[in-house]
């Protein structure tokens, strides 16, 4: 999942594309920035499970996908990862 990128909303207006370091149903770990100036953030589901939210340096970050959608994304990625080639 190191190459996966998602778009998150920062402080209501600005949209950033960030790298996903780990994606699970209960939390999504993202990395903002590059090189030595990068910052990791943990996004957790909101109370109503309609989005994932976290904060970096006092700024709120929101990933607007439901828990069900993220679960489906993870299941699809797992399915694609374990596809085996058959002999012909």
Give the pLDDT confidence score for residue 77 in this predicted structure.
82
Q: Is residue 47 part of a domain?
A: yes
Average pLDDT over residues 58-67: 94
The tens digit of pLDDT for each residue in 8-52 reads 999 878 999 999 999 999 999 999 988 899 999 999 999 999 999
**pLDDT of residue 1 exceeding 50:** no
Q: Measured on CA atoms in the order 22, 74, 50, 11, is the torsion positive or negative?
A: positive
Q: How many domains does the chain have?
A: 1
Give the pLDDT confidence score for residue 88 in this predicted structure.
63
Containing structural domain, residue 12: 5-81
The model carries a pTM of 0.83
Q: Is residue 68 part of a domain?
A: yes
User: Quick check: 39 and 28 in contact, CB under 8 A?
Assistant: no
- Measured between alpha carbons, how far is 78 from 71 in angstroms, rounded to an integer? 11
Average pLDDT over residues 74-86: 75
Q: Is residue 53 part of a domain?
A: yes
Q: Is residue 67 part of a domain?
A: yes
Q: Is residue 86 part of a domain?
A: no
How does DSSP classify residue 35? G
**pLDDT of residue 87 exceeding 70:** no
User: Quick check: 64 and 51 in contact, CB under 8 A?
Assistant: yes
């Amino acid at each position: 999942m190191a190459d996966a990128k998602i778009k998150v909303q920062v402080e209501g207006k600005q949209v950033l594309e960030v790298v996903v370091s780990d994606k699970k149903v209960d939390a999504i770990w993202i990395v903002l920035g590059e090189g030595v100036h990068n910052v990791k953030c943990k996004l957790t589901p909101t109370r109503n499970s309609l989005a994932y939210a976290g904060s970096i340096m006092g700024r709120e970050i929101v990933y607007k996908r439901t828990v069900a959608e993220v679960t489906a994304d993870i299941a699809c990625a797992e399915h694609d990862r374990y596809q085996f080639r058959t002999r012909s």
